[in-house]
Structure 1
Amino acid sequence: AWTATFRWEHCYGYDYLYAGPLFIHQLSHVWIDFRGLQDPFMRSKGSDYFENSRRATYVQQRYAIENPRGFDGYGEHCWGLTASEGPGPSTLKLNGIERRFEDYVGRGVPYGPDDGTLAPWAIVASLPFAPEIVRPAIAFCIHQAKLKAANAYGFKAAFNPTHPGSPDNIFGWWIS
């Protein structure tokens, strides 16, 4: 009965059990190896929860590549929409577009919410599911986006390349 609320979706070429924020597809795997384990719902779909998390990771990347809302920075190696802190609450007009920015919210794809805030940790936490797209994304975060420069111990929790941030911010965009 609890599976009655499940939504099997087809997004960006992938069939998967939908949940917008990426963390939903990741965190349960910390305690259980779901590879090959199927409940009746996943069996009926010919999948398991590990494969589902892999597909969700690819959906995140495809969403960022297509960037339907036109946010700065999104792309093949820059994605990771999940529950995180954000630069809001605020509304700003940027390049002629009115943008609503949220504070802490469960950002997700493809239905949102999405205010341009990305969480590098969500990319890193996807490593077990899709290392072939995660490794280049981590390298991008380090070398191109310079996200490690903001914190000697690793990435900041979230950033938003569309939001201008504060005037004293060395990045020119919001970073947590």
Structure 2
Amino acid sequence: MSGAGAPDQRPVDCHELRVAIVAASWHETVMDGLVEGARRACRDYKVEEPHLVRVPGTFELPVVAQALAAQGYDAVVALGVVIRGGTPHFEYVCRAATDGLLRVGLDHQTAIGFGVLTCDEEEQALDRAGLDRSREDKGYEAAAAALTTGQTLRWIRRGYA
């Protein structure tokens, strides 16, 4: 796991953005950390009330993100975790979530924060979940990326960029 090379970004004021967080339910401890990290980023970026939607698993993230984008959200933060097992299920779910979320962003020109952890073991997920003992906070990072991108898209639509 790296973490090296991350941009040194300071929060910007995104209070005008409508923001949703869609989060899977599997691996409750990891998901609670990711959701709290995303909420913390929203507070740092001056977004007071992000709308939180829970889905059963990571596979369901794209369809709900698409529905939220269609409702006019400026940014959707997608959070999930898939831990490799002994079957090809890992590859199928990871590919479906990645491709689906990319498609939502492109089709709706909506900022999508990609906070899907794809890990070989649970310890890796816990280390990225933004918990007290974690080395990384991927929920925060995904939200910050979505907010910054959402702000950029808003500026472009207004003719400022």
TM-score w.r.t. the length of structure 2 is: 0.26
Ranked by relative contact order (alpha carbons within 8 Å, sequence separation 6 or more), the top structure is 2
Select the structure that is richer in helix. 2
Structure with higher Rg: it is 1
Instruction: Give the TM-score normalised by structure 1.
Output: 0.25
